[in-house]
């Protein structure tokens, strides 16, 4: 079963001149169960890169919904901060499963397409950070990577992934300018501002 190659566009945050093209080599899935005109756009980048801003603008321009990152719904987050080494693996597997479910829902249950604010392909970055900082052990990290690789074989890639390339300092400056509620939300999880310099 062939899998199409998605396109990745690197941008500094201005999406006004980004060409959006669909892959020409098919989908690799039974497209009779999916609207062939649906556009799947993934937005990638560190916290503070401008993913939400770009997602909002694209959603209004293209008239398609946004699949946002559900950070506040993570049931392991509180336990993770109480004992990071104990809960790092199970929290990361939970996040991976949530992203997998969201990704598949976009593919099969979204007639108009979707814009995804952070993709499943970025999830291993945070697992690697937990491993490198010795919060997650080697055995758990290896198991996580094997699970991720197994999940990939079931995924149809987005039509395009837009990567917002900004410096760590720029991201930190943007976070500081946000309101208190937004900052509290972004301070949760392994991708928090304190780890930006390592990502």
Instruction: Look at 116 and 186; give whichever has higher pLDDT.
Output: 116
Instruction: Look at 149 and 190; give whichever has higher pLDDT.
Output: 149
Question: Which CATH class for the 7-198 domain?
Answer: alpha beta
CA distances (Å), origin 34, targets 106, 109, 125, 161, 177: 10, 7, 30, 20, 41
Reported confidence tier of residue 4, pLDDT bands at 50, 70, 90: very low
pLDDT of residue 188: 47
pLDDT of residue 35: 60
pTM of the entire predicted model: 0.71
Q: And the tokens for 102?
A: 């969201």
pLDDT digit string, tens, across residues 7-39: 444 444 443 333 333 332 333 334 345 566 688
15 C-beta neighbours (distance < 10 Å), count: 20
pLDDT digit string, tens, across residues 162-182: 999 888 888 888 778 865 444
Residue 63 has pLDDT above 50, yes or no: yes
Residues with catalytic roles: 117
Residue 141 has pLDDT above 90, yes or no: yes
């Amino acid at each position: 079963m062939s899998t199409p190659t998605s396109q990745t566009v690197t941008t500094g945050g201005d999406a006004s001149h980004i060409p959006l093209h669909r892959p020409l080599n098919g989908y690799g899935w039974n497209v009779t169960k999916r609207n062939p005109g649906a556009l799947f756009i993934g937005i990638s980048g560190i916290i503070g890169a401008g993913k939400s801003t770009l997602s909002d603008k694209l959603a209004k321009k293209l008239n398609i919904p946004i699949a946002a990152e559900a950070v506040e719904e993570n049931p392991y987050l509180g336990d993770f901060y109480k004992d990071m080494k104990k809960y790092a693996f199970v929290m990361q597997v939970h996040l991976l499963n949530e992203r997998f479910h969201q990704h598949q829902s976009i593919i099969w249950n979204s007639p108009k397409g979707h814009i995804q604010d952070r993709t499943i392909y970025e999830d291993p970055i945070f697992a690697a950070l937990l491993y490198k900082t010795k919060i997650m052990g080697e055995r758990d990290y290896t198991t996580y990577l094997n699970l991720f690789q197994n999940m990939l074989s079931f995924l149809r890639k987005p039509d395009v992934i837009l990567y917002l390339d900004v410096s760590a300092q720029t991201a930190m400056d943007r976070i500081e300018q946000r309101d208190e509620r937004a900052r509290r939300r972004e301070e949760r999880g392994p991708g928090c501002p304190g780890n930006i310099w390592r990502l």
